[in-house]
Structure 1
Amino acid sequence: MRPQSLFPLFADLTTLKGVGPRLAALMEKVAGPRVKDLVFTAPTGLVDRTHRVSISDAGDAGAQMLVTIEAEVEAHIPRPTMKQPYKVRMRDETGWLHLVFFNAKSDYLRRMLPEGSRRIVSGKAERFASEIQIVHPDLIADPREIEDADLLQPVYPLTAGLSINVMRKAIREALSTLPDLPEWIDGPLKAREGWLGWREALLELHAPQSGLDLEPAALVRKRLAFDELFAHQLALKLARRDRKARKGRPLSGDGRIVARVLEHAPFAPTGAQMRAFEACKTDMDSSQRMMRLVHGDVGSGKTFVAALCAAHAAEAGVQTALMAPTEIVARQHAKVLTALLEPAGVSVVALTGRDKGKPRKEIEAQIVSGEAQVICGTHALFQDSVEFADLGLVVIDEQHRFGVSDRRKLTMKGRAPDVLAMSATPIPRTLTLAAFGDLDVSRLDEKPAGRIPPDTRVVSGERLHEIVEGLKRALSKGERAYWVCPLVEDSDVSDLAAAEARHHMLSEMLPQARIGLVHGRMPARDKQKAAEDFRAGEIDVLVATTVIEVGVDAPDATIMVIEHAERFGLAQLHQLRGRVGRGDKPSTCLLLYHGQLGETARARLEIMRSSDDGFVIAEEDWRLRGSGDPLGLKQSGLPDYRIADLAAHADLLELASDAAQYETAREEVFAGERGEALRTLLYLFERDEGVRLMRSG
């Protein structure tokens, strides 16, 4: 139950003085619906009005420059007509200027600016004809009642209809509700880092004194970033500890089926594959549930590791379910696993959304009877109509593309099944800690022997016709190619138009070639057919909006052309490139760019040209793109941090992970004052719900 001390922070914004339903709705757009959301909305800028200038200097400051002056109010000049402005003349020893107001009330202005008084005013100065003027000054104050600190004003995110002054006032009101909370950071760590207490740090966050206070390296930001990271790491470690404490069931086998799979495999497994399988086997043999992530480079053989795990599960007499993000990938997995497992006597079926009527019922009957030992599918696997005889192992491919609730639904189909998550993208260490700190991790850092890395070249799009001519020569030698069309963000229609236009152009320029087309708006059955035709060699060039999502696998393809490569992230480019170079033939990847390359885009393409190591590329992608969400991990449990920046605060993440590990090593984590402080931290950052959800893997 949420501690009572946190109630004011979780109150609705309308509980703040001066914030009604209309303003609350606007503030919710930029911050969130509760008081704590305002409190954790960090300033994005700073308006410094502390530097005062004379009136003559204000006139020389340049058009629309922000100035602060202290001068005497000389005279009020009421507007001669309704269409003209009200003016107030101010004077110092260097000259005079006019404050200009439209539609202002004269009695209010006379109260704010009494004739003969001295006032500080701040705003944008400009010359109008021969006059210096400030139109609607941002600040009017009595110099006896204002300090320099009041002239440093934080800037916050805004939306239409929400002014900066209203936002500042609401945040000041929210800060006045801050409770004194027990300290959850270990005393020696807090002292060593020189951090303030939680409440003091938040007050200082909203009172920056210079631009340095807005940087991620500022002490108060580091303190508050650590709090966010610590809360999430604590939740992950608690979930991991909870899993270790819960009884699973040992899935032991005699090794005969695994031996037959290895005997009939068309290749010798790499050392990394066997190490990953041995780690999984140890997990499965134990009485604790396996929760393991296997990630590796493109083509490093994650599916083979999954096949060995499924074989071990079959030895133990339980079923394996493999959930894939798309139907085409699910069916591709079914084909590969059938080839690997059926010679060892393990039956494999596929179940996806396209299976209807009698065929679907037949597949479901095989699953519930236990005749089907390995079931590959999509979201269809956790539909109510699908029942398993005894689901003991869940394999989740491209697991970052599934939400926590999706994974939970599938694991609920069995009796505490073991879970193996797979990622075809190497995950940087920072992200591994941030998103998967509750999982054991195996890394596939070897590729099968004999593979030749693609020759990667960066080419201007202006040489398109030369590239097509080169493609014509390659096709005449029996080679086949992928052609990935320009990526147009948030527009399936634009993607489709680009793909169809390129398909038409290539069909005209290469009349002897068989040109195929795949795009996201095609029916799943048509996509499947195009993938199978390309794999079978019945298509020479496959034009696609993106091959990653399609999951087309044609080991004999040797050419990859990617248009507008500068628009893709490094991880995507590496995934695309990984579709070629899977055999023992030389392959080529052409990265086409258009227009002038920016510095980041140029660096990105240069990394692709110079490296084929997916782990190096993943780290560089992380560095170049910043924290963001490069792998789409938000839905898989990566928090949307308010102050922490995973790129800038990677060292704090390590610190938070270590601190969480230390705290959860104690038998009674939530005992005593220390335990109450940790409980408060989890509730403050709403990680109490995260702990419950993450038990599903």
Structure 2
Amino acid sequence: MRPEILTPLFASLKGLPGVGPKTVVLYDRLLEGANPVAGVEARIVDLLFHLPVSVIDRRHTPKIGEAVDGAIATIRVTVAEHRAPPRGSRAPYKVIAFDETGDLTLVFFSARADWLTKLLPEGETRWVSGRVEWFNRSPQMVHPDFVATEAEFATLPLVEPVYPQTEGLSSKAIARTVRHALDRLPHLPEWQDPDWLAKRKFPDFGSALRALHHPEGPLDETAEDPARERLAYDELLAQQLTLALVRASAKHLPKAPRFATGVLTTKIRDALPFSPTGSQEAAIDDIRADLAKPERMLRLLQGDVGSGKTLVAVMAAAMAVEAGGQAAIMAPTDLLARQHARSIAPLAEAAGIPWAILTGREKGREREAILEGLASGAVKILIGTHALFQGPVEFADLALAVVDEQHRFGVHQRLALTSKGRATDLLVMTATPIPRTLMMSSFGDLDVSRLTEKPAGRQPIATRLASSERMGEIVESLARAIANGQKIYWVSPLVEESETSDLAAAEARFEELTMVLGPVVGLVHGRMKAEEKDAAMRAFKEGDTRLLVATTVIEVGVDVPDATIMVIEHAERFGLAQLHQLRGRVGRGTEASSCLLVYKGPLGETAKARLEIMRATEDGFVIAEEDLRLRGGGEVLGTRQSGLPGFRVARLDRHGDLLAAARDDARLILARDPTLATPRGEALRVLLHLFDQDRGIRLVEAG
């Protein structure tokens, strides 16, 4: 049950003055995504967290003769005369005003004369505000932002907030509605520790929110603003408290310890053509220890591209089977699931472990046989897509679920993934290096193992930049590489030409390269049928084609060890994390590899910095931190689409220290008050509702 005190904030905006049935539709569009319940109207609380992004500062009040060209100025003038355009003319309406330093022309297009004569009566004094532009040594102001009498000017805010807008809603209209929304803000109980508030000099929640909607000066992104930091900390604490509650709930489920015997893992080791790295061994030890505990494993395996996560997953699955259970390994795409199956099959077979693959492509009797094998316990390891956890798939004893590329599934699906077993242990893996702050905010309910080395024999990748103007030279050099027996990926960012984009499309590039290089060119993209994708990948792997033109469908998990060259066209359009993933498709064998980032100039500062970072380092963790710095917390790793948190106030690139403090505070709160029953606990329940962390509330109420 939501606390009664929050009822006014969770009401529809329709109850506010000036927001009728038509206007509320515009606000729904403006605030789309703020309400976690799809299809529900925007609420007052959503608007209150819709914060200004800049200000119009009208405190500059020069005389006319002192006004700076191009600057916003607020000037006290006397109206001299009106100059209406001839009837039928498209010329603007002009009003001449003056002060003791000169004249100012006020310019209006398509304005009604009767309205302007009332607004600016001749001989009267008015305050006008707007951008001053000088032409032929004469200043003018086109459509002043406001015209006010002396009495009205005394009440006007000289610093006006500017809000993100949508068509049909101006910033002024939003500001007006926000003022009405702030009137509905109740005095909320304090959920923060008093000593912490005093130490950081934070205002109370209501004062902080009002201060951000009524800025007193320009918004400085780099300055420490106590009001913004207070709200950011509130948001981070709500999220960290929910993650801690999720973790406590999942760990709370009693589990029979699963003791690995080492019989199967020894056989897998004996079948390996190499020795595992030190960090692979450490991760395997972590998992073995977790399996043996009487509480669920919740572990994230974070490894850079090519660091050998698949081997750790196989060893974890074998340990679960040794302990008498079954294991499921889940990938985000059919392509990656089949890639896993090809890697895992020889190791599982060497150890004598029965395995199967299950995606949407297994049909009829084949599918029935697999489902029967799972239900009876005959199939010990199942590989597939997320379809594994939907519908009629039943396991005899699902001991371990391994989820690859976790960031593609969404944070809150973790618990659902293991519902096919009894207190199933969970291992999630990602090849996307995650910055420290994003790790805390998105995976705070998980223990973490990191793979920090590349397996023996992996070669460094030389990364170079080239302008698209040198396309002829690039293709000539690729022809020479093909003649020398090399395999090449060519990544193109679109499937087909778009009217709104000049990006080279994969299909067009495929045709052009085929004309020059001949039938050695293949094509794979996301719109192809699964069988066509498989055929294209198989032809490339077996050497029937030597250059594979692809969209980012190859970003994750595709493994062709003898591919040595990666060309990424329009590299300036990709994020750092994605560029790093794509580059990781080469350098997987024993041959020297290279990556060519082809860009179309001129480059903006951010794009230039991004490409330079790629050239400077192969360390995915360094790249991830730089990605966060360049793009901010909202967009890193494509978080808007991936289920990672998109914060309303907090910025992970700026509030890392607050996030660490919120994590520690959340753990301390639950250690002292696990059911949030104390006065502070009751206030924290209000906080969780306020930031839509209802999952945390449900877990508290469920005990």
How does the TM-score come out when normalised to structure 2?
0.90
Provide Cα deviations, 1:206-231, integer angstroms capped at 9, x if missing partner. Answer: 12122145656322111111111111
Instruction: Pick the aligned partner of 2:614 from 592, 608, 616.
Output: 608
Instruction: Pick the aligned partner of 2:573 from 567, 578, 581.
Output: 567
Distance (Å, rounded) in 1 between the aligned partners of 2:434 and 2:556 = 21
Per the alignment, residue 666 of structure 2 pairs with: 660
Which one-letter code corresponds to 2:616 in the other structure?
S
Distance (Å, rounded) in 2 between the aligned partners of 1:490 and 1:219 = 49
1:313 Cα deviation from its structure 2 partner? 0.8
Per the alignment, residue 72 of structure 2 pairs with: 66
The reply to whether residue 642 of structure 1 matches residue 683 of structure 2 is no
Alignment of 1:340-351 (within 5 A): 340-351=347-358
Shift in alpha-carbon separation, 1:12–1:509, aligned structure 2, 3 A: same
Q: Aligned-pair RMSD on alpha carbons?
A: 3.1
Distance (Å, rounded) in 1 between the aligned partners of 2:422 and 2:353 = 21
- Alpha carbons 1:273, 1:301 under 8 Å: kept: yes
Per the alignment, residue 200 of structure 2 pairs with: 193
1:381 Cα deviation from its structure 2 partner? 1.2
- Alpha carbons 2:314, 2:344 under 8 Å: kept: yes
- Alpha carbons 2:128, 2:146 under 8 Å: kept: yes
The reply to whether residue 297 of structure 1 matches residue 304 of structure 2 is yes
Structure showing greater relative contact order (alpha-carbon pairs closer than 8 Å, 6 or more residues apart): 1
Provide Cα deviations, 1:333-392, integer angstroms capped at 9, x if missing partner. Answer: 112111112211111111111112222222222222211111111132123222222212
Per the alignment, residue 35 of structure 2 pairs with: none
Instruction: Pick the aligned partner of 1:398 from 393, 400, 405.
Output: 405
Bigger shift: residues 636-645 or 209-218: 209-218
Per the alignment, residue 678 of structure 1 pairs with: 684
Per the alignment, residue 312 of structure 1 pairs with: 319
Shift in alpha-carbon separation, 1:332–1:214, aligned structure 2, 3 A: closer
Per the alignment, residue 469 of structure 2 pairs with: 462
Distance (Å, rounded) in 2 between the aligned partners of 1:356 and 1:523 = 16
1:415 Cα deviation from its structure 2 partner? 1.6
The reply to whether residue 259 of structure 1 matches residue 274 of structure 2 is no
- Alpha carbons 1:459, 1:593 under 8 Å: kept: yes
How many equivalent residue pairs?
690
Instruction: Pick the aligned partner of 1:35 from 18, 33, 44.
Output: 44
Which one-letter code corresponds to 1:178 in the other structure?
L
Provide Cα deviations, 1:388-428, integer angstroms capped at 9, x if missing partner. Answer: 22212111111111135654543222222111100011111
Distance (Å, rounded) in 2 between the aligned partners of 1:56 and 1:174 = 41
Task: Report SS of the residue matched to 1:208.
Answer: coil
Per the alignment, residue 51 of structure 1 pairs with: 60
Shift in alpha-carbon separation, 1:92–1:564, aligned structure 2, 3 A: closer
1:122 Cα deviation from its structure 2 partner? 1.9
Distance (Å, rounded) in 2 between the aligned partners of 1:547 and 1:467 = 23
Per the alignment, residue 237 of structure 1 pairs with: 244
Per the alignment, residue 12 of structure 1 pairs with: 12
Bigger shift: residues 633-642 or 435-444: 633-642
Distance (Å, rounded) in 1 between the aligned partners of 2:645 and 2:83 = 57
Alignment of 1:363-402 (within 5 A): 363-402=370-409
1:35 Cα deviation from its structure 2 partner? 0.8
Shift in alpha-carbon separation, 1:605–1:214, aligned structure 2, 3 A: closer
Per the alignment, residue 139 of structure 1 pairs with: 146
- Alpha carbons 2:250, 2:415 under 8 Å: kept: no
Per the alignment, residue 182 of structure 1 pairs with: 189
Q: Percent identity?
A: 53
Bigger shift: residues 328-337 or 24-33: 24-33
1:441 Cα deviation from its structure 2 partner? 0.9
Which one-letter code corresponds to 1:246 in the other structure?
L
- Alpha carbons 1:485, 1:495 under 8 Å: kept: no
Shift in alpha-carbon separation, 1:550–1:681, aligned structure 2, 3 A: closer
Unaligned runs of 5+ in 2: 33-41
Shift in alpha-carbon separation, 1:366–1:492, aligned structure 2, 3 A: farther
Distance (Å, rounded) in 1 between the aligned partners of 2:521 and 2:112 = 70
- Alpha carbons 2:634, 2:646 under 8 Å: kept: no
1:173 Cα deviation from its structure 2 partner? 0.7
Task: Report SS of the residue matched to 2:526.
Answer: coil
Instruction: Pick the aligned partner of 1:223 from 230, 240, 246.
Output: 230
Distance (Å, rounded) in 2 between the aligned partners of 1:589 and 1:89 = 64
- Alpha carbons 1:50, 1:148 under 8 Å: kept: no
Bigger shift: residues 177-186 or 397-406: 397-406
Distance (Å, rounded) in 2 between the aligned partners of 1:419 and 1:447 = 24
Provide Cα deviations, 1:469-490, integer angstroms capped at 9, x if missing partner. Answer: 3333333333222222245799
Distance (Å, rounded) in 1 between the aligned partners of 2:448 and 2:497 = 33
Shift in alpha-carbon separation, 1:17–1:340, aligned structure 2, 3 A: same
1:94 Cα deviation from its structure 2 partner? 3.5
Shift in alpha-carbon separation, 1:508–1:121, aligned structure 2, 3 A: closer
Shift in alpha-carbon separation, 1:215–1:116, aligned structure 2, 3 A: farther
Distance (Å, rounded) in 2 between the aligned partners of 1:126 and 1:493 = 34
1:493 Cα deviation from its structure 2 partner? 12
Shift in alpha-carbon separation, 1:691–1:584, aligned structure 2, 3 A: farther
Bigger shift: residues 256-265 or 207-216: 207-216
